[in-house]
């Protein structure tokens, strides 16, 4: 077992180091290479026709246009290059230059403050979320990534989480013993345990098959991803719980970014700002369209919980806030509460 693990680790490390070595020529801007475009490899784990995928495409178009072709953005969706657990290391090594991971991914990296975004029911609506990310709290969190060699460029909204399974999930008791897929996050782990479920960490690219074969019973996510990845085909019931919020941080390798010519960097910042406005604007419409398509498929029942049911969920999940306070940081939690206008259920 140990030799198999060592072999796997060596293969993964070799692949990442090879990617970094191949990327090294792109990091220099010597006069002899002045005519060659600067290549930005932008990797992500979802489909091109999701809000994140479309935001990445818009950034590519704007970046190449505004730099007059001096920058070429290569998009790699659907985990083509790296899976969830590999991509952050790939960015730090320079194998890719840009990612848009979910905010939950920064906890395992050691920046646990970002796990505040996973606290259940902390955002009552999209405006509450943006009050956090667009203000000083969001800026301060990005600064905490820099010692890790990562530069935060933008926050991209992707809507609220829903729950799914092959049985109805209306009450807290319905979760008992259910194997529920989550991203790697201590907060999400605690969330599922508070509901009586058994959390299972799994890469997004592996989810469809795991649901199809019964490795896991259900999952949480946003409607647009449920539709584009065809999750609705292998889940009979969806509950529109809006219990959590899915968002991404567009990040770049800091050494690569700092090494760009100032004019190029400024043009890319402008392109990212415009692409972010676009990505955030389409998130709600894309999720609404996905809900309609899922409903029209006739394969999945979509359930809107009653206020009484939501109150039960909230009361069951509020202890997670207190439990995670020491891990995330009390000051961070309180800053988010204040910016988001959070009010605990009575």
Domain boundaries in the chain?
2-27+35-111+125-157+247-284, 162-244+289-340
pLDDT at residue 205 in the model: 87
Instruction: Please tell me the distance from the alpha carbon of residue 208 to that of residue 243, in angstroms, as a whole number.
Output: 22
Coil, strand or helix at 20: helix
Share of the chain above pLDDT 90, in %: 82
H or E element in which residue 338 lies: helix 330-340
CA atoms within 13 A on the CB side of 86: 23
20 pLDDT higher than 50: no
pLDDT at residue 34 in the model: 57
Q: Please enumerate in sequence order all residues whose Cβ is within 8 A of that of 52, keeping only pairs 6 or more positions apart, or say none.
A: 44, 46, 100, 156, 158, 248, 279
pLDDT in tens, 151-176: 999 999 999 999 999 999 999 999 99
User: How many Cβ atoms from other residues are within 10 Å of residue 128's Cβ?
Assistant: 16
How many angstroms separate the Cα of 92 from the Cα of each of 84, 171, 278?
14, 42, 27
The fold for domain 162-244+289-340 equals D-Maltodextrin-Binding Protein; domain 2 (3.40.190)
Instruction: Please tell me the distance from the alpha carbon of residue 46 to that of residue 266, in angstroms, as a whole number.
Output: 28
pLDDT at residue 16 in the model: 47
Indicate the class that CATH gives domain 2-27+35-111+125-157+247-284.
alpha beta
Split at pLDDT 50, 70, 90, the class of 18 is very low
pLDDT in tens, 239-296: 999 999 999 999 999 999 999 999 999 999 999 999 999 999 998 899 999 999 999 9
Instruction: Please tell me the distance from the alpha carbon of residue 15 to that of residue 107, in angstroms, as a whole number.
Output: 24
5 pLDDT higher than 60: no
Instruction: Please tell me the distance from the alpha carbon of residue 60 to that of residue 74, in angstroms, as a whole number.
Output: 8
- The larger pLDDT score, comparing residue 35 to residue 76, is at 76
Query: 162-244+289-340: same fold as 2-27+35-111+125-157+247-284?
Result: yes
The predicted model scores a pTM of 0.84
pLDDT at residue 10 in the model: 45
DSSP track, 91-131: HHHTS-SEE--BGGGHHHHT-GGGGGGGSTT--SSHHHHHH
pLDDT in tens, 316-333: 999 999 999 999 999 999
Mean pLDDT of the chain: 91
Strand partners, 155: 249
């Amino acid at each position: 077992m140990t030799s198999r693990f060592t072999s796997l680790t060596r293969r993964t490390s070799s692949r990442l180091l090879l990617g970094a070595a191949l990327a090294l020529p792109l990091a220099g801007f010597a006069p002899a290479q002045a005519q060659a475009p600067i290549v930005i490899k932008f990797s992500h784990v979802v489909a091109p026709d999701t809000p994140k995928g479309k935001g990445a495409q818009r950034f590519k178009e704007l970046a190449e246009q505004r730099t007059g072709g001096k920058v070429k953005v290569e998009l790699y969706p659907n985990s083509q290059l790296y899976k969830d657990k590999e991509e952050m290391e790939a960015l730090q090594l320079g194998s890719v230059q840009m990612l848009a991971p979910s905010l939950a991914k920064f906890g395992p990296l050691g920046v646990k403050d970002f796990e505040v975004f996973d606290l259940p029911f902390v955002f009552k609506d999209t405006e509450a979320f943006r009050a956090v990310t667009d203000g000083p709290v969001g800026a301060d969190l990005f600064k905490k990534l820099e010692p890790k060699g990562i530069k935060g460029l933008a926050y991209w909204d992707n809507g609220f989480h829903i729950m799914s399974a092959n049985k109805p999930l209306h009450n807290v008791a319905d979760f008992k013993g259910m194997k529920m897929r989550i991203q790697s996050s201590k907060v999400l782990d605690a969330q599922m345990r508070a509901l009586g479920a058994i959390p299972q960490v799994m890469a997004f690219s592996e989810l469809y098959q795991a649901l199809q074969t019964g490795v896991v019973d259900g999952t949480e996510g946003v409607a647009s991803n449920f539709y584009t990845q065809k999750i609705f085909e292998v889940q009979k019931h969806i509950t529109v719980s809006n219990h959590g919020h899915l968002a991404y941080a567009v990040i770049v390798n800091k050494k690569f970014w700092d090494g760009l010519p100032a004019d190029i960097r400024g043009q890319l910042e402008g392109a990212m700002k415009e692409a972010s406005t676009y990505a955030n604007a389409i998130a709600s419409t894309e999720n609404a369209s996905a809900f309609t398509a899922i409903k029209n498929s006739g394969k999945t029942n979509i359930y809107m919980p009653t206020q009484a049911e939501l109150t039960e969920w909230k009361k069951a999940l509020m202890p997670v806030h207190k439990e995670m306070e020491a891990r995330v940081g009390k000051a961070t939690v309180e800053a988010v509460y204040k910016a988001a206008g959070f009010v605990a259920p009575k």
